[in-house]
């Protein structure tokens, strides 16, 4: 389906105007690489353990990640909604997930009159309840609805920087199908859409669809696991077949079921970047969502749920795409595509750098412009830390040569280019 | 500053695929016009008193409102961030606003270890605290940061549909200036940006900058009040001068101060759609945010805050731009620009309507297409209720005539147009 674009983002920014500063040290209690770099580079602010605020550069990355997810969810027929955070007891009591004894990640609060409310940590119950107003016949199915919304989970221990926090965005999609075949077909489509998301984030090569434990309604669920030493999960990977098995279901029975032998699998640490789950009628039955089939008989829709955490993805990219100097963003989610680093305050250098900045932003190229009057060494170090894909050095030297010095952050490759060559490359 | 666009929205939608249905009745406890229409038209779902979820059409409207606000905040130098909802006691104790005895709208919750947390109902404290990492010199000022983020307020009574709820988006901007002159100048600029927002939402003619009570650091704050019988506020308006006074400061002293006489003012009910407030050093002092001035002396930045509620704005537009048949969206925030209503299931009519839908979306015109097989009367009633600006009727009749029947929702004006004429008008 065609898409249009509605969120306004500034195309260019001068670093003298950007309020964030880089810093040499991350908070001492921050041990994960992703949060250390993201805080040092001014992408994030740590509010408390497991709770982070997003500063301009960080929000730009996060917005790009959610845009990619949104595009892929729209492409498989997802309709976007926004459910509330505050949760009424009703539907959760019906499903047996209200009590904090049953679900240990609830944050609860209360109204002035003492009524207990919860903060949504997932949304099967409210979305199923909502659908009771809109689904009544087999003609109303299938439906795929999703949101990108803040979830709250009362984790005993927050860890791994922005990969396991108490407040985070989640893209959660819920599918409602007439029958098992409908669910199975959509489930496979969703899995492909997920892989497209990870590929667009430069995580495709190291992300595996992974067999994990199912529930009452299906033998397995699937996780998407990205290989990384920063991961909390252990998986067994067949790189050849492009699949993996989570340790929790790594049994002889499962191996036999999947036709895989232990010797074809390698043990790896991995980050769970997404999961998909066949719910069956677990929630449609307990919440009372039914439809009339072709024979006029009441049936329960067969449901599935599909989650991706944008913040965790951002942290995963920071873990995998970084080096000893700092972050190395893939082009698709970098806060800016180009970083002009001006060396020197001489009038003609300033004029040239200003003009280049104007030109690039007019060409629609997102550009950060280091127009600060600080030492060259500090500028280069900051530029490496920030991790924008292409650095363009403008100095007396490049002016004399009539060419720009272009440095690719990921490879360190340096080349001299004319302005036209540069624009052509950046516009690709 | 140039802006680019990053959020993907589907350009077209077929009503057979849209999961929401219109309904004849709103919930019986819903007495406000905005929520009645928005629920009946399938824009919203009521979760409980004062808590609503946004369905596809409603989310599209809300996103367009936030985009307009974002553009105007960027245009005055605002830098977008996203602060957390979960609030640590620290900065709030420092400012004296932690206790629920002092602030009666807190929702509080707690960590597993018993630590009390709050849900952000405003963000002066965390934003000021955050700035301690990034402001140290007069050269770092001024700064203008804003977010569009969900606030939680434990209102005793939720009322007026989506105009006073317990969970809602707020655009809150905070300014940090070196001195009073800097604050005053930005404050006036922000007021102009606010009026541009309201004008773009077709509320400009009936929205007044209104004198309201100030605080320790300024005589007055300002509200933006939109005239409406659905409003909770009483204001005294001078339409001639384009200003108003809130009842709370409608005293002889204030009238004298402003050089206005009672007989030039008319009493009106109004909806507060925005407010701006000079904070002085109230928070920089209590939180401990300082900068070195040109003489190396420590100073407190002078702050201001600037709020607009996107959901309330949506409700206000629904109150003001609606008639007995339903909603009447301004073009700027309508969920779709055009509504194709196909009458009849004859093959050539279907083919013609399908082709028109393809053409409009290819031309970048956001189009809802009523391709349902239901009675014409029901389609027209739904179309009126949904309130999309332009309805295009495709039927055997229009096919025979070689022209489309175009109906303007706001005026009821009907005209016959060729496809080219229509596209030209819609592309404006």
* H-run or E-run covering A253: helix A252-258
- Report, in angstroms and rounded to the nearest whole number, the Rg of chain A calculated over CA atoms: 24
Q: Is A109 on the interface with B (CB under 8 A)?
A: yes
B13-33 average pLDDT score: 93
CA–CA distances in Å: residue A225 to residues A78, A144, A270:
23, 24, 6
| pLDDT surpassing 50 at residue A421 | yes
| pLDDT surpassing 50 at residue A2 | no
ipTM of the complex in this document:
0.96
Calpha distance B211→B141 (Å, rounded): 28
Contact call for residues A365 and A10 (beta carbons, < 8 A): no
CA–CA distances in Å: residue B32 to residues A55, A426, B27, B153, B271:
38, 52, 11, 20, 13
The candidate with the shortest Cα–Cα distance to B406, out of B382, B421, B390, B387, is B390
Chain B residues whose beta carbon lies within 8 Å of the beta carbon of residue A135? 19
pTM, full prediction = 0.97
- Report, in angstroms and rounded to the nearest whole number, the Rg of chain B calculated over CA atoms: 24
Calpha distance B360→B354 (Å, rounded): 10
Return mean pLDDT, chain B.
Answer: 95
The distance of B63 to chain A (nearest Cα, Å) reads 8
CA angle, A212 as apex, A129 and A302 as ends, to 5°? 30
Q: Is B25 on the interface with A (CB under 8 A)?
A: no
In angstroms, the first-to-last Cα distance of chain B is 23
Most B-contacting residue of A23, A63, A86 (CB-CB within 10 A), to test interface: A86
Secondary structure string (H, E, C) spanning chain B? CCEEECCEEECEEECCCCCCCCCCCCCCCCCCHHHHHHHHCCCEEEEECCEEEECHHHHHHHHHHHHHHHHHHHHCCCEECECCCEECHHHHHHHCCCCCCCCCCCEEEECCCCCEEEECCCCHHHHHHHHCCCCCEHHHCCEEEEEEEEEECCCCCCECHHHECCEEEEEEEEEEECCHHHHHHHHHHHHHHHHHHHHHCCCHHHEEEEEEEEECCEEEEEEEEEECCCCCEEEEEECCCCEEEEHHHCCHHHHHHHCCCHHHCEEEEEEEEEEEEEEECHHHHHHCCCEECCCCCEECCEEEEEEECHHHHHHHHHHHCEECCEECCCCCCCCCCEEEEECCCCHHHHHHHHHHHHHHHHCCCCEEEECCCCCHHHHHHHHHHHCCCEEEEECHHHHHHCCEEEEECCCCCEEEECHHHHHHHHHC
Nearest CA in chain B to A68: B8
Chain A residues whose beta carbon lies within 8 Å of the beta carbon of residue B116? none
| pLDDT surpassing 60 at residue B2 | no
CA angle, B96 as apex, B93 and B102 as ends, to 5°? 115
Q: Is A74 on the interface with B (CB under 8 A)?
A: yes
Q: Which A residues, 243 through 282, put their C-beta within 8 Å of a C-beta on chain B?
A: none
* H-run or E-run covering A63: helix A56-75
Contact call for residues A84 and A120 (beta carbons, < 8 A): yes
Q: Is B20 on the interface with A (CB under 8 A)?
A: yes
Calpha distance A53→A344 (Å, rounded): 34
DSSP reduced 3-state for A49? coil
Chain A residues whose beta carbon lies within 8 Å of the beta carbon of residue B19? 79, 131, 134-135, 140, 143, 145
Would you identify the CATH topology of the domain A20-323?
Answer: BirA Bifunctional Protein; domain 2 (3.30.930)
Contact call for residues A37 and A385 (beta carbons, < 8 A): yes
Calpha distance B314→A288 (Å, rounded): 32
Query: Among partner residues B20, B82, B87, which is closest to A59 by beta-carbon distance?
Result: B82
Calpha distance A241→B230 (Å, rounded): 63
Whether B5 sits inside 8 A of A6 (CB atoms) is: yes
Give me the helices (H) in A85-216, please.
89-95, 124-131, 180-200
Quick one: pLDDT at residue B35?
Answer: 96
Whether A56 sits inside 8 A of B361 (CB atoms) is: no
Q: Which B residues, 135 through 174, put their C-beta within 8 Å of a C-beta on chain A?
A: 135, 140, 143, 145, 150, 152, 154, 156, 166-167
Contact call for residues A152 and A120 (beta carbons, < 8 A): yes
Nearest CA in chain A to B139: A16
Residues 6+ apart with CB under 8 A from B247: B233, B234, B235, B236
DSSP reduced 3-state for A341? strand
Whether B10 sits inside 8 A of A17 (CB atoms) is: no
| Domain B31-323, CATH homologous superfamily name and number | Bira Bifunctional Protein; Domain 2 (3.30.930.10)
In the structure, how many helices (H) and strands (E) does chain A have? Answer: 12, 26
Please give the torsion angle defined by the CA atoms of residues B262, B264, B270 and B271, in that order, rounded to the nearest 10 degrees.
-100
Chain A residues whose beta carbon lies within 8 Å of the beta carbon of residue B63? 6-7
B137 confidence band (pLDDT: 50, 70, 90): very high
Return mean pLDDT, chain A.
Answer: 95
Q: Is A105 on the interface with B (CB under 8 A)?
A: no
Calpha distance B328→B318 (Å, rounded): 8
| pLDDT surpassing 80 at residue A397 | yes
Query: Among partner residues A7, A11, A53, which is closest to B130 by beta-carbon distance?
Result: A53
Q: Is A9 on the interface with B (CB under 8 A)?
A: yes
Quick one: pLDDT at residue A4?
Answer: 44
Quick one: pLDDT at residue B8?
Answer: 56
- Secondary structure (DSSP) of A362-417: HTT--EEEE---S-HHHHHHHHHHHT-SEEEEE-HHHHHHTSEEEEETTT--EEEE
Whether B81 sits inside 8 A of A56 (CB atoms) is: yes
- Write the CATH number of the domain with boundaries A338-426: 3.40.50.800
- How far is residue B63 CA from its own chain's centroid? 9
| CA quadruple B350, B353, B356, B362: dihedral sign | negative
Please give the torsion angle defined by the CA atoms of residues A341, A11, A326 and A346, in that order, rounded to the nearest 10 degrees.
10
Chain B residues whose beta carbon lies within 8 Å of the beta carbon of residue A108? 109
Residue B52 tokens read as 């609503």
B222-250 average pLDDT score: 95
The distance of B111 to chain A (nearest Cα, Å) reads 6
Whether B54 sits inside 8 A of A82 (CB atoms) is: yes
Whether A8 sits inside 8 A of B8 (CB atoms) is: no
Q: Do domains A20-323 and A338-426 have the same CATH topology?
A: no
Residue B366 tokens read as 């956001």
- For residue range A106-163, list pLDDT tens digits in order: 999 999 999 999 999 999 999 999 999 999 999 999 999 999 999 999 999 888 999 9
Query: Among partner residues A3, A119, A166, which is closest to B9 by beta-carbon distance?
Result: A3
A242 confidence band (pLDDT: 50, 70, 90): confident
Residue B81 tokens read as 């961030």
Q: Is A301 on the interface with B (CB under 8 A)?
A: no
Between chain A and chain B, the number of residue pairs with CB atoms below 8 A apart is: 204
Q: Is B93 on the interface with A (CB under 8 A)?
A: no
B38 confidence band (pLDDT: 50, 70, 90): very high
Chain B residues whose beta carbon lies within 8 Å of the beta carbon of residue A112? 104, 154, 156
Contact call for residues A178 and A301 (beta carbons, < 8 A): yes
| pLDDT surpassing 50 at residue B288 | yes
Nearest CA in chain A to B64: A6
Q: Which B residues, 316 through 355, put their C-beta within 8 Å of a C-beta on chain A?
A: none
Calpha distance B128→B332 (Å, rounded): 34
Residue A223 tokens read as 């996780």
Calpha distance A293→B149 (Å, rounded): 42
Please tell me the total number of residues recorded for chain B in this structure.
Answer: 428
The distance of B338 to chain A (nearest Cα, Å) reads 15
Nearest CA in chain A to B169: A84
Calpha distance B392→B406 (Å, rounded): 5
Q: What are phi and psi of B369, to 5 degrees?
A: -125, 110
- Answer with the residue of higher pLDDT: B1 or B210: B210
Any idea where the domains of chain B sit in the sequence?
Answer: 31-323, 338-427
Calpha distance B194→B69 (Å, rounded): 8
Chain B residues whose beta carbon lies within 8 Å of the beta carbon of residue A62? 82
A191-203 average pLDDT score: 98
B11-32 average pLDDT score: 93
The listed CATH number (3.30.300.350, 3.40.50.800, 3.90.1300.10, 3.30.465.10) that belongs to domain B338-427: 3.40.50.800
Whether B8 sits inside 8 A of A5 (CB atoms) is: yes
Contact call for residues A156 and A105 (beta carbons, < 8 A): no
| pLDDT surpassing 80 at residue B112 | yes
A90-105 average pLDDT score: 95
Q: Which class for B80: exposed (0-12), middle (13-18), buried (19 or more C-beta within 10 A)?
A: buried
DSSP state for residue A205 in the 8-state scheme: G
Give me the helices (H) in A270-346, please.
282-287, 310-320
Residue A355 tokens read as 């003009």
The candidate with the shortest Cα–Cα distance to A306, out of A215, A197, A172, is A172
Whether B88 sits inside 8 A of A140 (CB atoms) is: no
Whether A79 sits inside 8 A of B19 (CB atoms) is: yes
A8 confidence band (pLDDT: 50, 70, 90): low
Whether B4 sits inside 8 A of A21 (CB atoms) is: no
- For residue range B145-185, list pLDDT tens digits in order: 999 999 999 999 888 999 999 999 999 999 999 999 999 99
Q: Which B residues, 359 through 378, put their C-beta within 8 Å of a C-beta on chain A?
A: 361-362, 364, 366
Whether A3 sits inside 8 A of B8 (CB atoms) is: yes
Chain B residues whose beta carbon lies within 8 Å of the beta carbon of residue A45? 130, 133
The candidate with the shortest Cα–Cα distance to B415, out of B390, B381, B395, B387, is B390
Whether B166 sits inside 8 A of A364 (CB atoms) is: no
| CA quadruple A337, A20, B143, B93: dihedral sign | positive
Residue B364 tokens read as 């970048």
Chain B residues whose beta carbon lies within 8 Å of the beta carbon of residue A133? 21, 23, 45
């Amino acid at each position: 389906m065609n898409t249009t674009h509605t969120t306004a983002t500034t195309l260019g920014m001068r670093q003298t105007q950007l309020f964030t500063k880089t810093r040499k040290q991350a908070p001492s209690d921050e041990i994960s690489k992703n949060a250390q770099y993201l805080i040092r580079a001014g992408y994030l602010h740590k509010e408390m353990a497991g709770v982070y605020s997003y500063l301009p550069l960080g929000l730009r990355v996060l917005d790009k990640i959610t845009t990619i997810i949104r595009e892929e969810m729209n492409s498989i027929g997802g309709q976007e909604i926004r459910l509330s955070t505050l949760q009424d007891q009703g539907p959760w009591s019906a499903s047996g997930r209200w009590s904090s004894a049953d679900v240990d990640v609830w944050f609860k609060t209360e109204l002035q009159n003492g009524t207990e409310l919860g903060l949504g940590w997932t949304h099967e119950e409210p979305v199923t309840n909502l659908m009771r107003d809109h689904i009544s016949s087999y003609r109303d199915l299938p439906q795929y609805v999703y949101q990108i919304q803040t979830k709250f989970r009362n984790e005993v221990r927050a860890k791994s920087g922005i990969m396991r926090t108490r407040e985070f965005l989640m893209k959660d999609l819920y599918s409602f199908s007439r029958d098992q075949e409908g669910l199975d077909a959509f489930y496979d489509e969703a899995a492909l859409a997920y892989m497209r998301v990870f590929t667009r984030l430069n995580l495709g090569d190291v992300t595996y669809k992974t067999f994990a434990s199912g529930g009452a309604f299906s033998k397995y669920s699937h996780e998407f696991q990205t290989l990384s030493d920063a991961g909390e999960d252990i998986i067994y990977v067949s790189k050849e077949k492009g699949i993996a098995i989570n340790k929790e279901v790594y049994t002889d029975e499962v191996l036999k079921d999947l036709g895989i032998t232990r010797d074809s699998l390698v043990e790896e640490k991995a980050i769970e970047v997404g999961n998909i789950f066949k719910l069956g009628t677990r929630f449609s039955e307990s919440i009372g969502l039914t439809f009339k089939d072709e024979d006029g008989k009441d049936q329960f829709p067969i449901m599935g749920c599909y989650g991706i955490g944008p913040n965790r993805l951002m942290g995963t990219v920071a873990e995998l795409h970084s080096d000893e100097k700092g972050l190395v963003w893939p082009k698709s989610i970098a806060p800016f595509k180009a970083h002009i680093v001006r060396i020197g305050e001489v009038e003609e250098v300033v004029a040239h750098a200003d003009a280049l900045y104007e030109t690039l932003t007019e060409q629609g190229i997102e550009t950060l412009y280091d127009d600060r009057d600080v030492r060259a060494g500090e500028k280069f170090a900051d530029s490496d830390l920030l991790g924008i894909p292409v650095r363009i050095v403008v100095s007396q030297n490049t002016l004399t040569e009539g060419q720009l010095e272009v440095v690719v952050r990921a490879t360190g490759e340096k080349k001299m280019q004319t302005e036209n060559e540069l624009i052509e490359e950046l516009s690709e």
